[in-house]
A and B are shown apart, each in its own frame.
Chain A
Amino acid sequence: MTHLYTTPEAEMNAYNFAYLDEQTKRMIRRAILKGLAIPGYQVPFASREMPMPYGWGTGGVQVSAAVLMPEDTLKVIDQGADDTTNAVSIRKFFEKTAGIATTEQTTKASVIQTRHRIPEAALSEGQILVYQVPIPEPLRFLEPSEVETRKMHSLEEYGLMHVKLYEDISRHGAIATAYAYPVKVEERYVMDPSPIPKFDNPKMEMAAIQLFGAGREQRIYAIPPYTQVVSLDFDDFPFEASKADHACDLCGADDSYLDEVIMDDKGTRMFVCSDTDYCAARRHAGHVGAQGIPEKESVI
């Protein structure tokens, strides 16, 4: 019965650095290394139950826990923002269990855990971007069986995916996939980029390491720096990275992905950067959008 009554401090001290025990981290690191060696290939790993629910980033959290070192600086975003509730919750988890430094600035982070976005600022060598992945299998909604889809990957049998894209065009006149848009990595594996908007797809050819963790589905995959990542398309229907046809109303950026915010019950819309750090940095540098006010005034 003694184990029932411990203090919160004793409870946290009972956990290893970044929560997971070293054996588990070792197992995850092996999966990550294998993933990096075979870019885009989904490596099965013995995902652990984490103290947050499956589907809420347990894969990303396990990958982050395995790569974090005490000297790291962590940034956590959800939908591009540092202040969304689940990003706050995950950041707090690592502050508590790893005691590492955290930041909201993309350029200052050594590890960035993300859900649904790639930051606007280009990432550099030495940074690691960790994605939370709900369904790692790009073929899942075409073929529900895991046994079958693994076979399709090993035979490089991606005809079904091309048929799906073709059917989209014949029905809608365009490829009707707006996020989680499938990519092909180094001309071999078709990969799910996680549910990022297709606007972010071209950024995946980057200098940083990209790691993908799917906890519930027990899969890890990876893209090493400077790896070729091509969004699937046809010659006559080329891939197009799209975003709302506006500029950010706060900072005036016309190159960033935008959130649409409903302002009143008449349906007035406003468009603002989804990447909150990018937007704040621009405003700090003096950029002002159509409905923004200069930062100096807003501080007063």
Chain B
Amino acid sequence: MYVAVKGGERAIDNAHAWLAEERRGDQAVSELSIEQIRNQLTLAVNRVMAEGSLFDPDLAALAIKQSRGDMIEAIFLMRAYRTTLPRFGYSRPIETANMACDRRVSATFKDVPGGQILGPTFDYTHRLLDFALAAEGEVPEAPTVTAASERIPHVAEFLNQEGLIQTETPSEAVPPDLTREPLELPADRALRLQSLTRGDEGFVLGMAYSTQRGYARNHAFVGELRIGTVDVEMDIPELGFAIDIGEIEVTECETVNQFTGSKTEPPQFTRGYGLVFGQSERKSISMALVDRALRWKELGEDNLGAPAQDEEFVLYHCDNIQATGFLEHIKLPHYVDFQSELELIRKLRREALETVAGQVPNVAEAAE
């Protein structure tokens, strides 16, 4: 006797209990603390903050712990939490020219005012597994110097002084808010950048890489890459002036790209821009390349039909929370749809086989 499947509720509860146990792992091994994740898996924390669109290292560390290290799951936890937060207002634009830089490099000039500051980078490490780390030894102290107190100017401004690079026109327009308004196309640059900065690192990297390999190629130099902390200021209506409400770490990348000029404009360099929460170099460079590729219309270039030039393609597919949700939903039951397909294909096959049988009679007999 068939009894309809029941017990979904109990199955879910049991699955959650098992998941919690698996997350904890072997109880004989000490549990990871939020502090440990925040301090020792900083780049993971940064990615979760960037794509989760919420600057809060403690919450990001918690999300990583809760998600068993699944980054997209952690980002999802951050996003779902973020939406529930009340909006008190918008901060003033951060002033990256006043950044306290931990790292600042330019690929376009050997030296620049403010200097090249390598900072804590993997760039010149040899990728050899360090077995000493497995032994959990002490880390030798890094040498320190007193940071220069003067402002570190943006490299692109030096090119701008000569008119060699296209000037970004300042705008007082209120930028749209992707998290409060539906995405509608065409998107202006502010909206595109907003979408890219929270877009999936892998997707944005792949798009950027495709431009380097010839799909809407526009050779990019890293004019400047800087990582450091900036103050966040907010106007407080009751006070009548802006106050610092905190500081955040960001990575900013400005690329210098070729441009051949047009009938009306002499040749000039153009720019791509990337800005991401935390130390997120790969992401911010990728973002700058994709930003530049998406500016083809504004800069009078041809649409080459490359994926990275197609804002609808890029913006609709860069969000990993949307993508993973829709992708993974195909594991949900679909048996009603499948049933209707089953009936249709049986009907079509029956009709097709009847037609074939009618056209070529006695095939089986002839073969005998």
Asked if chains A and B come from one complex, the reply is yes
Complex contact B332–A46 (CB within 8 A): no
Complex contact B184–A44 (CB within 8 A): yes
CA distance A176 to B340 in the complex (A): 11
In the complex, B126 has a CB within 8 A of chain A: no
In the complex, B263 has a CB within 8 A of chain A: no
Interface residues of B in 240-269 (CB under 8 A from A): none
Known A-B contacts A179-B341, A197-B340; the reply to A272 vs B4 at CB < 8 A is yes
CA distance A4 to B7 in the complex (A): 33
Q: Of the 9-residue stretches A83-91, A157-165, A184-192, A225-233, which lies at the interface with chain B?
A: A83-91
Number of residues on chain A facing chain B (CB within 8 A): 70
Known A-B contacts A53-B324, A145-B312; the reply to A179 vs B9 at CB < 8 A is no
Complex contact B316–A270 (CB within 8 A): no
In the complex, A244 has a CB within 8 A of chain B: yes
**23 chain-A/chain-B pairs, Cβ below 8 angstroms:** A1-B58, A4-B34, A21-B86, A44-B182, A45-B182, A49-B76, A50-B83, A54-B322, A55-B325, A83-B6, A85-B12, A85-B333, A92-B9, A116-B334, A174-B348, A179-B337, A216-B325, A242-B344, A243-B343, A258-B339, A274-B339, A276-B4, A279-B4
Binary interface profile of B, 323-334, with partner A (CB < 8 Å = 1, else 0)? 011111100111
Q: Which of B59, B333, B347 contacts A174 (CB 8 A)?
A: B347
Known A-B contacts A4-B34, A172-B348, A291-B1; the reply to A86 vs B321 at CB < 8 A is no
Complex contact A49–B12 (CB within 8 A): no
Complex contact B343–A50 (CB within 8 A): no
Interface residues of A in 39-74 (CB under 8 A from B): 44-51, 53-56, 58
CA distance A92 to B16 in the complex (A): 14
CA distance A261 to B325 in the complex (A): 28
CA distance A49 to B183 in the complex (A): 14
In the complex, A123 has a CB within 8 A of chain B: no
Interface residues of A in 195-226 (CB under 8 A from B): 195-199, 216, 218
Residues on the B chain within 8 Å of A172, using CB: 348
Interface residues of B in 269-325 (CB under 8 A from A): 312, 316, 321-322, 324-325
How far does the Cβ of B250 sit from chain A's closest Cβ, in whole Å? 22
Q: Which 7 A-B pairs rank lowest in CB-CB distance, beginning with the nearest?
A: A54-B325, A55-B329, A53-B325, A178-B340, A55-B326, A44-B182, A197-B340
How far does the Cβ of A3 sit from chain B's closest Cβ, in whole Å? 8
Residues on the B chain within 8 Å of A218, using CB: 182-183
Q: Which of A88, A134, A174, A274 contacts B336 (CB 8 A)?
A: A274
Q: Which of A3, A83, A178, A216 contacts B5 (CB 8 A)?
A: A83
Residues on the A chain within 8 Å of B337, using CB: 116, 178-180, 195, 197
How far does the Cβ of A162 sit from chain B's closest Cβ, in whole Å? 20
In the complex, A300 has a CB within 8 A of chain B: no
Residues on the B chain within 8 Å of A244, using CB: 339, 343
Binary interface profile of A, 229-261, with partner B (CB < 8 Å = 1, else 0)? 000000000000011100001100000011111
In the complex, A293 has a CB within 8 A of chain B: yes
Interface residues of B in 130-183 (CB under 8 A from A): 179-183
CA distance A44 to B351 in the complex (A): 43
CA distance A58 to B80 in the complex (A): 12
Indicate the member of B185, B322, B351 with the most A CB atoms within 10 Å.
B322
CA distance A146 to B183 in the complex (A): 11
Residues on the A chain within 8 Å of B80, using CB: 49-51
CA distance A186 to B76 in the complex (A): 40
In the complex, B99 has a CB within 8 A of chain A: no
Complex contact B2–A270 (CB within 8 A): yes
Dominant SS among interface residues on chain B: helix
In the complex, A155 has a CB within 8 A of chain B: no
Known A-B contacts A172-B348, A291-B2; the reply to A117 vs B336 at CB < 8 A is yes
The residue in chain B whose Cβ has the minimal distance to the Cβ of A279 is B4
Dominant SS among interface residues on chain A: loop
Residues on the B chain within 8 Å of A195, using CB: 334, 337
How far does the Cβ of B142 sit from chain A's closest Cβ, in whole Å? 28
Known A-B contacts A46-B180, A46-B181; the reply to A56 vs B335 at CB < 8 A is no
In the complex, B79 has a CB within 8 A of chain A: yes
The residue in chain B whose Cβ has the minimal distance to the Cβ of A174 is B348
Since A173-B348, A179-B337, A250-B2 are in contact, a sample of 17 more A-B pairs with Cβ atoms closer than 8 Å, ordered by chain A residue number, is: A1-B58, A46-B180, A47-B182, A49-B76, A49-B321, A50-B80, A53-B321, A54-B322, A78-B333, A83-B8, A84-B333, A88-B9, A134-B326, A178-B343, A179-B336, A216-B326, A272-B4
Complex contact A176–B348 (CB within 8 A): yes
Q: Which of B7, B179, B321 contacts A83 (CB 8 A)?
A: B7
How far does the Cβ of A244 sit from chain B's closest Cβ, in whole Å? 6
Residues on the B chain within 8 Å of A51, using CB: 80
Indicate the member of A54, A115, A216 with the most B CB atoms within 10 Å.
A54
CA distance A12 to B147 in the complex (A): 47
In the complex, B11 has a CB within 8 A of chain A: yes
Residues on the B chain within 8 Å of A83, using CB: 4-9
Complex contact B336–A79 (CB within 8 A): yes
Residues on the B chain within 8 Å of A196, using CB: 336
Binary interface profile of A, 139-164, with partner B (CB < 8 Å = 1, else 0)? 00000011100000000000000000
Residues on the A chain within 8 Å of B27, using CB: none
How far does the Cβ of A167 sit from chain B's closest Cβ, in whole Å? 14
Known A-B contacts A178-B340, A242-B343, A259-B336; the reply to A88 vs B12 at CB < 8 A is yes
Binary interface profile of A, 4-47, with partner B (CB < 8 Å = 1, else 0)? 10000000001100000100000000000000000000001111
In the complex, B40 has a CB within 8 A of chain A: no
